[in-house]
Structure formats: C-alpha cells, structure tokens
Amino acid sequence: MPELRQNIATREWVVIATERAKRPDDFADAERPLSESRPAREAGCPFCPGNEAIAGPPTLSVDGPGGWLVRVVPNKFPALVEDQEPMRSFRGIERRMSGFGVHEVLIESPLHNVTTALQSDVEVARSLRAMRSRGRSLARDERILVTIFFKNHGAEAGTSLEHPHSQMVSLPVVPHHVRGRLQDAGAYFDEHGSCVFCDMWRQELTAGARVIVEGAHCVAFIPYAAFSPFHTWIVPKRHMPLFIQASDAELEDVARVLRSVLRRIYFSLRDPDFNFVVRTAPNHEERSRSFHWYLSIVPKVTRTAGFEIGSGMFINTSLPEESARFLREAKSS
C-alpha cells in the first residue's frame, strides 16, 4: 500500500509508492562507464593542470610539493557578476534587481578522473575547508545575503564538465524557498522550544532504521520522508545555523561521512549522477536558534514530471528504510 509521509523540518509531503517500487540495486546501471575509467588528464579540460590560464587567476589555491591540490576560480560563464551594485527596482509586475553576485568553481583535484568517492578523507576534507574558507570571505561582503554551495556530478545532474568540481553562488537576495525553510524552522521552534534538525538527528539515531553511518560530529541518514531514492541528509550534531561556522574537527568528520556515503553509492549503484547541496542559513542568521545547516545528497536515479511541478510533492518509488539498509550494508572501502 502506498503511504504519505511528511518531513517535519521541510513540512513537505511525499508519496512513498511501494507498488511502483524497484529493488535498490535495480537503480544501478550496468552500462554506465565509471568515472575512474576516464583518463587522469584530458588535453582540452579547462580544470586540468597545464590549462590554468583558461580559468584565470584563482581566488584560493591550496598547494602541495607537486603543484596545486585544490583551486577556486571564478566561473567562466557566471550566473551573476561582481562588477555591479545590487540595485532593486519595482514597477508594477516588474520587480527586478541588477545581477550582482559571485559565482565560483572549486576544482577538487588535479586529477581528471576522480570523484569524491574515489578521493581520500584528507582530500575530501581539503575541498570542504576550501569551500568554508571562500564562504567565510564572501560572508564579509554585506551585499551578499546567502551563499549556495553545491556539486553537480554527471550530465543528468546538470554538468557537462567531467573534471571533479563543485560550485558556490553568492546571492544578493534570500530565495523564497530558503525564506520558507527558515520560517518553518522558526514555527517549529516556537511550538517545541527546540531546533527541528537537532530533534531529527537524535530521533533518527534512536530509531536507527534509516541511519547509514554515524560519525563523531554528524549523522548520515535517509530522511523519513525522503523525496527520492537514496536521498540522504548529513546533519552535524552541534547546533549551527551556517555551514561556515563548522570547526575543523566537524568538517573533517563531515568529509569522512560524506565520502563513506558517496563510496557506498558509487560501488552499489555504479557511479550514478548526483547533486549535493549544502543547506545553510543566510549570513545574518548566524545566531538563529531554529535553523541548522546540513548537507543533502540527491542521486539522479529518477526524473521529476508534471505531478512534482504541479504539487511540489514527490513520488518516491523506494522505501527509505530499505534504501538505508542497502547503503548501510554496501561496500564503503
């Protein structure tokens, strides 16, 4: 029988359609070439060593004895640009703002054919620290309200670039969706006197059925109302509204857990395309008692259609408890 589930943090309902369910390993595509089967270096790749001139000067570079290890560069085709001031103008239905913003790319490795799952804990932590470092610098600019950190892996997830990278977009507005999440978390706090994300990770840990892996400072689980198969949250245990507030120890633990989850997905589902996003509060909400940053991983194993557009709800053809057990038991090293 299908059932409806509601995420207590996002208040979104999802249809868990067990009648349409596949077995977890049916989502693995045996035809898909693995990331590691690509060459370690690609002559025309703008992110490969030797081609640094294409991307231009970095805003951050972490160097090792043999050259750079990670680099952050301006996006060559930025969605938003820095050389204008954020000016709003309202005229009837025409509400606009100049396209001020910052759009950067984090190149996660000099190697063309690795992906997070194939990197070491140290390498993944280095990328997260670079992300945090840029996020902290950008947060000093009062014109920036929030920075969205995300990774697109594979064509289905929206990138044509194979070289391992993630992105940061700093916005001069609070997106309506982010505002809604903040308000919902605030309403929960007013009702319960606690942060919904703090309550959620504790209860998920107690229930256990949806936990994939627990770290010293964070927990990875498939939410009770996961909106798609293998949709995973990594929630830090300490209450912190902003991603950039994470300590070194916390970030290293998130890196370990993230890598562990992505390895399980890589090996058991054969390197599916995926997105991950860091959901963080706007910079000025750094003392929020109700919002809590977390990382959300969305493997692209299904497609959204008219029902999702029309209702904002999702139909999940897998049972979160079953997907979690599958990933918990999957190879991670």
- For residue 266, give the DSSP letter: H
Q: Which of 85/142 has CB closer to its own copies?
A: 85
Q: How far is CA 101 from CA 54, 138, 260, 295, in A?
A: 21, 10, 33, 22
- Positions 270 through 299 that interact with its own copies (CB under 8 A): 275-279, 296, 298
Q: Check: CB of residue 272 under 8 Å from CB of residue 27.
A: yes
Cα(134)–Cα(103) distance, integer angstroms: 11
Site string for its own copies, 61-100 (x = CB under 8 A): ----------------xxxxx--x-------xxxxxxxx-
Q: Does 205 bind its own copies (CB under 8 A)?
A: no
For the CB of residue 150, give the shortest distance to its own copies in the complex, in Å: 3
Stretch that binds its own copies, among 1-9, 41-49, 119-127, 250-258 (CB under 8 A): 1-9
For the CB of residue 95, give the shortest distance to its own copies in the complex, in Å: 4
For the CB of residue 64, give the shortest distance to its own copies in the complex, in Å: 27
Is 165 catalytic? The answer is yes
The total number of residues shown for the chain amounts to 333
Q: Check: CB of residue 99 under 8 Å from CB of residue 80.
A: yes
Q: Does 194 bind its own copies (CB under 8 A)?
A: no
Q: Does 177 bind its own copies (CB under 8 A)?
A: yes
Report residue 176 as tokens: 């309506």
Q: Does 235 bind its own copies (CB under 8 A)?
A: no
Q: Does 12 bind its own copies (CB under 8 A)?
A: yes
Q: Check: CB of residue 251 under 8 Å from CB of residue 216.
A: no
In which element (H, E) is residue 275 found? strand 274-279
Catalytic residues: 165
